[in-house]
Each structure stands twice: as C-alpha cells, then as structure tokens.
Amino acid sequence: MSGGEQKPERYYVGVDVGTGSVRAALVDQSGVLLAFADQPIKKWEPQFNHHEQSSEDIWAACCVVTKKVVQGIDLNQIRGLGFDATCSLVVLDKQFRPLPVNHEEDSHRNVIMWLDHRAVSQVNRINETKHSVLQYVGGVMSVEMQAPKLLWLKENLRETCWDKAGHFFDLPDFLSWKATGVTARSLCSLVCKWTYSAERGWDDSFWKMIGLEDFVADNYSKIGNQVLPPGASLGNGLTPEAARDLGLLPGIAVAASLIDAHAGGLGVIGADVKGHGLVCEGQPVTSRLAVICGTSSCHMGISKDPIFVPGVWGPYFSAMVPGFWLNEGGQSVTGKLIDHMVEGHAAFPELQVKATARCQSVYAYLNSHLDLIKKAQPVGFLTVDLHVWPDFHGNRSPLADLTLKGMVTGLKLSQDLDDLAILYLATVQAIALGTRFIIEAMEAAGHSISTLFLCGGLSKNPLFVQMHADITGMPVVLSQEVESVLVGAAILGACASGDFASVQEAMAKMSKVGKVVFPRLQDKKYYDKKYQVFLKLVEHQKEYLAIMNDN
C-alpha cells in the first residue's frame, strides 16, 4: 500500500433463512464472521402435514438481524448482500400482496413450507407420467418440490389463491426480489425444485401433461422467465425502500440467491485442506461431500459429468458450484427428529431441569450423561439392542418413498434419563447410518467420495459429528466458522459486488477448515453390524406392509 495508506476493509452481509430462524452475519473478505444475529420465525401447522409460514414475518426477521449485524459499521464498507433460504413456496397476487395457501383464507400464511406433504395425490400423478424431466430429480419427484404444491393450489384453492396469483417464488428468490424489485429467479431454485433445465429451459410438455398448462400460456411469467446464476448481481442493487428496511445503503450489490443447503455447500466444499492429513488433499473437489445438517440433512456431491443416482435428486447442472453437476441426497427430518425424540420422552422435563441447572443445552447434557453411563466400552456401543429407522417423515434418499415411517426396536419399560439418553444416541446413529446409505447409493452410481464436510446446527453437536465419522468411516471436516451457511450467503454477496472474479475464487478464499474429526476405525465392526440391522429394518417394514395389504 503506497504511503502506508490502509485500504478500507470490504464487508459482505449474508442472510440465511432456515426452517426455524433467520440468521445474518457480517463477513470479511477472508470469510471471517465479524457479527452474527438470529431471530426465530413463525410456523403454522393448521393440520397434519400442512406447514405454513408468512413471507412478511420472514422479511421482518431478515430486517431485524441485518440491522443488528451492521451496527457500528461504516455502511460504505459493505459491498454486497447475499440471501439463502429453505426451498419453500411463496405466493403473491399480481400486485405482489400475500395470498392465502390455506382453506382458512388467512393471507398472512402465504408460504407452503418445504416439508409440507399436502400434495401426495398430486405428486403420485406427476410420477405416473414418467416424464423425462423426472430423470433429473433422481427418477421420482418429491412431494417437497414445487410442481405438486402448485397443482394442489390449483385443485384446492382455485378462487381464493390460484386465479388471483401473479407470482410464485421459491423463498430465496422472494428475498432477492424484495431487496431489489427484480423478479429474476436463481438457476439454483428453478433447476432443483421446479424442473427447469440449465441447458434446455422449461419443458412445455411437462407442465401441459400435469395440468399446469397455464404457465406455458403466459410464457412462465408467474414462475420465472428470466434466470440468473447464483451470485450474479441483480438490477441496480438494493432499492431505497429495502435499504431502509435492512439498515443498509441503497444501491449495494445484491446477488441471485441459493437454497440454504446449497449455500452451506458453497461455504464448505472449496476450502484449502492442506496440512490437515486428509486424503482429499490430493484428490479432486468431487471427492468431497458437503452435508448440511439442520432441520433436515442434505448431502451435496458434485461431478464433472452428470451422474444419475436413483433416489438422489439431480443431476443438476451449475446449481451449486458453477460448471459442476450436483447430486443432492437428503433426509427430510434430522434435527427435527432428534428434537422430537428427546422432547417427547417422559424424562424430558427432568432433563430440562438438570441441563438448566448446569447452564448447558439439553444435547450437551445428554452427551455428558452418555459418557457417565457407558461402561468399559465406547459410548456408541450402548445401543447394541436399540435400533431406529429414522424416516418419520418419509424417505427422501435413496429410497424416495414418502410412505415410509419411523421404527424403534428394543424398547423397555423404563423411562428414566438413561433410557432417554440411549434413545437419543440411537436416533443420532440412525441419521448417520442413513448418510452411509445415501453415500453407498451415490458411489454405486459413479461418485467417489472420501471426505465429509459438515455444517448446519447439528454440526455443533460433537456426538453427531463423531457418529458420522465412525459410521461412514470417513473423516469429517468442520469449518473454522461454525455458521458456514452464512459464509456461503456472504460469498454470493461478494461475487455480486465484483470483488471476486468467480464463485470458485470466492469459495477458495472465504471457506476455511477448522476442526477435523477422524473415524475410530477400531469400532468399525460394531457399526457395520448396526448398518446390517438398519437395512433389515426397512426390509421388514416393507414386509409388514405387504402382509397387511394382502387380501
């Protein structure tokens, strides 16, 4: 720097809308988080399998957290803003006002959440078409994608919602529209959840075949006919109105968004791994699997050429890392399942009291309780006769079967804290066994994976991380910044600002390896047996169903 002049630091704001809360971070050019804030968001479950949110409530939470993280900062130093969010469906009318997605006609609830399973009949009919677009979602469309939900709205809320609708947004695209007034969609959302192809665009025949020819007739204006790669700069940047809402300066660059899991992938997958003793150091980036573990877990693997993995979403071109194909495996409830098992147990009130007395989270308390009750053997061996099949909300991958249910075998009459701790352990193990099942399906189809990169709320749980290492037999890399999804969102803002020439360059500079957890290979035999039982559980579940359905 000439004359000892210091170039002012450049900052980016990342905003991550998860299922349960909105988070924001102020991030510098090397990917360090300087400020973090979070805020819960509202959720409604008006009936079983219907999950709704409010886009106004979500935007208000984005404003609260963004204002918090930029407090005390010279706003001129903030160069770019990036959003990521869950892949929920936002419905607005022609004047961009919220429309109800429910029979109660509550227009405040205008978001059908990603985990909503109301459109089962619609998705079954879509899958019966065997249309060629289905090849790009693992062969079977998920009820969690947008086409079945749109069809549900047309068939169930024709007058109150469908006929009045002007705009259907994936939540990440709603946020970038709200910030800039630009209705262009991100390639990520459209490719991953709406059947758009990066190479061929929309397929008219698909929409006509499933009964949503309306979109073809108006040239896809309601679902997006301008598509931009994630990280591309939108319009003239932040509008004056949005700048006021967010506490930022108008005109700063705003990026085309990403779905949350994909932002997590960007935040971790490109890190320089030199010096950590990892086998992936000498391997291409395609040997890395990013696993984003929050309410759900998403398994993001990339490849140079398209790989078709039955039951695993994709291959999607350029939907996460530009120029690479993406396969996305997933478990629809993981964090939510652990919470469900723990909070539903008779010993939960006692756990809460004891954890609070020690100023610990219930999970930290359970982890230390497991250490206390283990005998001479490792903690993981406490589940020798307790096994869980984790599909309490259907199986996303690799079976792509939404009818599957959860299973627990090995229950006893006791309901004390020991019993709760072991059930919690068995649930965590079941989720890790599910990851192994997904990895095996991806490898059988052509992926070659050697290292896991974990992020999301569950990666803060050391037991969850160690179980993923032990059960998959692979090292698990955690990022220096525990909030790696926010680093991914900030990478988008950094790209939109023009400070980096490419997403790859920003990834390499902004994502950093923190801790590495290696598998305890001496325990492999035990986990191989647990995996054998795990596979039997689903086999047996199918047999039970066949028996019960046999007339």
Ligand X SMILES: O=C(CO)[C@H](O)[C@H](O)COP(=O)(O)O
Ligand Y SMILES: Nc1ncnc2c1ncn2[C@@H]1O[C@H](COP(=O)(O)OP(=O)(O)O)[C@@H](O)[C@H]1O
The residues near 383 (Cβ < 8 Å, ≥ 6 apart) are 410, 422, 425, 426, 429, 530
Contact partner, 270, from ligand Y, ligand X, none, Cβ < 5-8 Å per class: none
Task: Answer for the pair 66, 248: CB distance below 8 angstroms, yes or no.
Answer: yes
* Residue nearer to ligand Y on the CB measure, 142 or 461: 461
Q: Judged by CB under 6 A, does residue 489 bind ligand X?
A: no
Q: How far apart are CA 96 and CA 107, in angstroms?
A: 12
* Residue nearer to ligand Y on the CB measure, 21 or 39: 21
* Residue nearer to ligand X on the CB measure, 252 or 256: 256
Q: Which residues bind ligand Y (CB under 6 A)?
A: 18-21, 294-295, 335, 338-339, 361, 363, 456-458, 460-461
Contact partner, 457, from ligand X, ligand Y, none, Cβ < 5-8 Å per class: ligand Y
Element (H, E) at 288: strand 288-293
Alpha helices, DSSP H, located in 29-87: 55-69
DSSP 382: G
Q: Give the Å distances, CA to CA, from 297 to 10, 46, 446.
A: 32, 25, 21
* Residue nearer to ligand X on the CB measure, 289 or 420: 289
Q: Judged by CB under 6 A, does residue 261 bind ligand X?
A: yes
Q: Give all strands of the β-sheet with 325-331 in edge-to-edge order.
A: 313-317, 325-331, 297-303, 288-293, 451-455, 476-479, 513-517
Q: How far apart are CA 491 and CA 511, in angstroms?
A: 9
Q: Is the peptide bond before 46 cis (omega within 30 degrees of 0)?
A: no
* Residue nearer to ligand Y on the CB measure, 125 or 460: 460
CB under 6 A: which stretch of 93-101, 194-202, 253-261, 401-409 binds ligand X? Answer: 253-261
Does the CA dihedral 531-536-537-541 come out positive or negative? positive
Number of residues forming the site for ligand X (CB under 6 A): 15
Residue 530 beta carbon to ligand Y: minimum distance, rounded to whole angstroms: 21
221, amino acid identity? S
**Whats the size of the chain, residue-wise?**
551
- Give the one residue of 70, 191, 242, 298 binding ligand X; rule: CB under 6 A: 298
- Closest-CA residue to 457 (of 370, 363, 373, 372): 363
Residue 498 beta carbon to ligand X: minimum distance, rounded to whole angstroms: 28
Six-digit token string for 542? 């199918």
* Residue nearer to ligand X on the CB measure, 140 or 533: 140
Contact partner, 461, from ligand Y, ligand X, none, Cβ < 5-8 Å per class: ligand Y
CB under 6 A: which stretch of 38-46, 131-139, 289-297, 408-416 binds ligand X? Answer: 289-297
Residue 397 beta carbon to ligand X: minimum distance, rounded to whole angstroms: 11
* Residue nearer to ligand Y on the CB measure, 272 or 343: 343
Contact partner, 102, from ligand Y, ligand X, none, Cβ < 5-8 Å per class: none
CB under 6 A: which stretch of 52-60, 288-296, 408-416, 543-551 binds ligand X? Answer: 288-296
Q: How far apart are CA 258 and CA 85, in angstroms?
A: 7
Judge residue 514's burial from the number of C-beta atoms within 10 Å of its C-beta, 0-12 exposed, 13-18 middle, 19 or more buried: middle
* Residue nearer to ligand Y on the CB measure, 58 or 404: 58
Name the site residues for ligand X (rule: CB under 6 A): 18-19, 86-87, 114, 192, 259-261, 294-296, 298, 328, 330
